[in-house]
Each structure stands twice: as C-alpha cells, then as structure tokens.
Structure 1
C-alpha cells in the first residue's frame, strides 16, 4: 500500500494572491521578481528609470543589460512613469539599492493606492539613521503595511526558472492572526509562487531583514580569506560564526534567533558566501588577492551592498552593545585602513569563548602572538 504524505495545515477559508502588482526597480532582481509574478499569472508592471530598458522589455521581452540571455514573459509590461506603474495595483515591491529606498519610497507614496502593502526587496541598514529598510519605508509610506522579500536568490537563476525559495515577511496584526489567508504576507507569497519559485511566510520582519543585511558583510569576509588562499575550513568557520553575529543583532532588535536559521539567514548567507556570482564574495576575493579597491571589478563602479553595510551594521551593533567581530574586521579593512592580514590574524587570536552563549566564558588565547604573526604573514 502506497502511503500518502501527511498534509500540512490549510486554512478553512481559501487564500488568494494579488492580481495586480507593481515592481519598482528594473535591475536584475527587480526584473527577476517581476518575471516570477508574471509567470504566476499576476498582472505585473515593472517600473524602470531608463526608458531604453523599459522599451526593450516591452519590445523584445528582454533586459539584456541586467539579465542577459533570459526571455521574459510577454505579459510583463514595463513602464517609465511611476504613476503608470502604481495605478490601480493591489500591492507593490520596491527593488532598488538600499541607498535609494528612501527616495524611491517617497515617490511611491505619491502615487500608490491608499493602504496597499509594500514589500522592500533591498537588504541593508540606512547609514545615517541606523534604520532597517522596512523602517525607512515606513517613514515615507505611513499608511501602508510594510514588509520584505528576502532569501537565497541569485537573480539570473530565479529568472531562468531554477527552483528557488524566499521568505515574505510582514508584521501580523490581530486580524491577520485570526484570518492569515487575508494577510499581506500570505497573499504576496501566493502571488509569487510558481512551479519553480516557492515562497514562505514570516511575521518576524526584523529577523528576516537582519539576516539580509549582515550576510553581505560576512560574504566579503569569506571572499577575503578565499582570495588570500584559504579554503573550506576557514569559510565554514566564518559562515557559522557569522550566523551567531546575525542572531545577536536580531535578538537585540526584537527579532527571533530562530528566524536567522531560515532562508533569509543561513540560507542567504550560505549562498552569498559560496559563489563569486555574489558581488560581495567577489569583492572580498579580489581584495584578498591584493587588488586595490579602486581596481576591483576592472575599475567599474559596481555597487556592493556589503561594503556600505559593513559600516552601518557595526554602527548599529556598537550602539546596541552587540559584539560582531567578523563584521568589525571587514569594516576595519574597508573603511579604517586596516591591513587585511593583520586584521584577520587578530580576529583568529581573540580570546577563547564558549560556543553556547549561556556558558558566558572567555579565556586568553594561549598562542596569541604566534597566531597573529603566522596568519598575518600567510595572508600577506
């Protein structure tokens, strides 16, 4: 007799996704998300700053600059005017670099239908304020539910329809608890779900966002050590201890440590730290090989989110009294002029600690001087 798999809990009332969604930002990830929505049968408008990009999307069903070689759904419609993108939509996704979230959110506020949910798909912490991206958006979009979409997602693979998962997070109101099928998180997750894209739901917006912000910094650290000639042991140690730094910061801000073990935390961290497809990993590798920052990426002005997050994440951690030694090491190298070899040697020579936080132990490293001298020389 063939056993049927046990069914998970399903709400009594059927849930339905949004039928009309705007994606604000025609970069690689914005285009990939818009393509996913369109393939799910959602009427999708993709807003882009560049009229040439918008024209190519509508004419050729391509965004060759951002997603070369990817055929986009013919039902995906590109627009250049923000008012056209947001007219009569039920939800919106803001998919722009973290530095642009505030200004773009302000534009969205001028044209978005009253009260529609807005999900932020940028990862980071605003340098000037120490606010998460959702908090930045909340200041500009005061009457809208604000959430985020985050997870281990390379845009090109998502756009090609490779099996991919991400988390949709919104705070849950009392009404959302009673009828989760009507919540913005559930409805947007259903809108994004296709035969290849699987969305999960979370109510821990802080925990999800912290994972997305910190993982970029840890990925630069992994890239630096890989570029310096080290291998899997080193990267595994950095990933694992990077997760601990995520947990500490998330918890300090009211998030749940459990969230960091999910897609937006460990999932995104392991992806970003494992492939030079990640700009953060790639930057770190080049720096670890001794390439000056100005010459990385062949001198092209490539935006690397972790480079900015290294400062904003550690600023916030310092304010909260949270220890984040890996992120502090990356910041010291990128922004404070520290020597890469000496900085990482000092990281490895820190006092010996207990891994379970509850033990609260720390002892002097028995070979501090030797560790610093040996590692600094090897990395240099």
Structure 2
C-alpha cells in the first residue's frame, strides 16, 4: 500500500520534495499563500521559489493544514526552524496516532537550542521522528540532476519504508540511524557556508574557500560529537557532502548572505531582499551558546557571529582567523 504524504511548507525545498514524493504517493502540500496554492494546482508551478520548473501534475496544494495532514501516513515538515514549533502545534490535533514526522529544516530553535526532531518528540510523543538531509540544492534536484540524501531515524525499519517514498529518478536516498549527527550537520554547516560566501564576495580566492571548508568541517564535527553525534556521520552526506555543496554553490542561501556581506552590504538589507530564510543567520546565535555549554572551540563560527551581530567587518573576521593560535592539524573528536 502506498503511503500518503502531507507536506507542510511551500518554499523551494518543500515544494521540490513534495513534487518528488508526488511521483510515488498521493501528496498534499500546505502553503500559507492562496496564490501559491492556486498556482500549484492550476499551473503546476511555483515561480516565486522554483522559477521555470514544472511540478508533478498529481501534486495537490492546500491552504488548510487539516486537509493536508488528516489522512497522511507520513508528515513532512518543510517550514523554517523558527516557525517549526508553531506550525506543528497547529497541525497536532489533525495528525493520526503514530504517524512518522520528518524534518527538512536545517536549523536550531533559538529560544530552546533544540533540534527539530527534539521539538517533534516534545510536541508529538510516540510519533517516530526523523530528518531528510544532505547536499540537496532544490533547483538542481528538481531539474533532475543526480543527487543523494540521507533519511535518519532511530528505527531502521521505518526509515527503509520511507526510502521508497522520497527516492525518485536520480535522487537517491540512503538511511542512517544517527539522527543527532545528521540534523546537526545540516544546521551547523550553514554558518561555515556564510564564511565561505564572505570569502568569495571579498575575492579571497579558492585557497581560502578550501581552508574554510576543511577547518569548518573540523569545527562542526567537534561540536557535533560533543552533542552526541557519531564521528563518521560528519564525513558522510549529511556532514561533508552538505558542507561542500553549500559552501561552493551560488544557489545556497547562506553562501549568498556571506557573499553579499563580503561585497559590503549590511545584513538587514541582504535579508530583506531574500525570498527565503537563510537558517545560518539565526543558527549562529545558538551555536555560540552551545560552544560555551560544551566547551568546544569554534573560531570560524565565532568570527561569523561577530560580523552578523557585533559589527565586525569582513576584513576583521579574516584577520581574527589569521591571528587565531595555530596548532597541529588533527582529527576532530
């Protein structure tokens, strides 16, 4: 029996995932905006977030959360991290018992410092919680380019069942039981992507980008392990894979923020000009608090935080990294 999917969120990644699952299962996508819903249902497009892309014709859109989730066999949360709790609370009364809930957001809740699956477990105890993550640039996947993702759940059997729901064409989905590591990899790499974008915007060069990616991986792995993630996860698709894609692509929202900062724009102007949320901007606040809590050294994240929230310039950030005490290069953890 094919599983019905209810997906909450009509941004680029939520719409892409809904279009993929609609090839395999009945899928209803919830979006707040009536015009977006009408466009998806009538024209099979979402031009604001996926220009020039045709969506799977069987995909249904709705402005009703109840209609989207009440008959779903799996719920997919495609809303930004800071809206996650509110939307899940609204959906809660309409979700049937024991239905798995899968997170797409790559961020941490500012007020609680929680991962999204922790919020699922808090609000919806008894529902299997997981995350779909990896080097997934929405536009490339939608246009059929080969890509791989990870679905991480504690229960291998449920994760294996959901592989068939999300896999489509050249989009291949692997399973992993390290929910903590996979979720943290997706959230933490966004800050490193801002640093990489800053270097590109300031014409710092390819060598600088390579150094940021490499040392950034070590940095996020240190914190990830301290918080309970498994070391090998950070060298896989959810860690290094996602980091490389996000730090190297002009399609990345977080890289874009960094790039514009590197060109001299201020943060408020950059954010106001964007259609979607760059999770790394808000995650940077949480990560600095977590680094202190777990006593983990995170020099790149610290410099990005100073640029975003303390008025440091891009040049000061790179000088700060150069002044940072040079030690031996060793494996994190």
Q: TM-score range by the shorter chain?
A: over 0.9
How far has the Cα of 1:19 moved from its partner?
2.0
How far has the Cα of 1:153 moved from its partner?
0.9
TM-score, normalising length from structure 2? 0.96
Residue aligned with 1:353, SS: coil
Alpha-carbon displacement from aligned partner over 1:13-37 (angstroms, at most 9, x marks no partner): xxx8x52111111111111001111
Of 300-309 and 116-125, deviating more is: 300-309
Distance 2:144 2:81 in 1: 26
1:48 aligns with 2:31: yes
Of 299-308 and 146-155, deviating more is: 299-308
Partner of 1:193: 167
Distance 1:28 1:70 in 2: 11
- Of residues 171, 194, 210, the one that matches 1:236 is 210
1:111 aligns with 2:85: no
Partner of 2:183: 209
Counterpart mapping for 1:53-72 below 5 A? 53-72=36-55
Distance 1:131 1:298 in 2: 26
1:33 aligns with 2:17: yes
Alpha-carbon displacement from aligned partner over 1:288-325 (angstroms, at most 9, x marks no partner): 12122233378457532111111111211111111111
Distance 1:357 1:164 in 2: 28
Partner of 1:7: none
1:309 aligns with 2:292: no
Unmatched runs of 5 consecutive residues or more in structure 2 = none
How far has the Cα of 1:164 moved from its partner?
1.5
How far has the Cα of 1:357 moved from its partner?
4.7
Misfit runs of 4+, over 3 Å: 297-302
Partner of 2:305: 331
Partner of 1:80: 63
Partner of 2:219: 245
Distance 1:156 1:28 in 2: 8
8 Å CA contact 1:213, 1:313 repeated in 2? no
In structure 2, relative to structure 1, the CA distance for the partners of 1:298 and 1:336 (3 Å cut) is closer
8 Å CA contact 1:101, 1:137 repeated in 2? no
Counterpart mapping for 1:257-276 below 5 A? 257-276=231-250
8 Å CA contact 2:218, 2:331 repeated in 1? no
Distance 1:140 1:297 in 2: 30
Unmatched runs of 5 consecutive residues or more in structure 1 = 1-15, 173-179, 361-380
8 Å CA contact 2:299, 2:324 repeated in 1? no
Alpha-carbon displacement from aligned partner over 1:243-297 (angstroms, at most 9, x marks no partner): 1112111111111010011111111111111022111111111111212223337
Residue aligned with 1:122, SS: coil
Distance 1:288 1:74 in 2: 41
1:169 aligns with 2:143: no
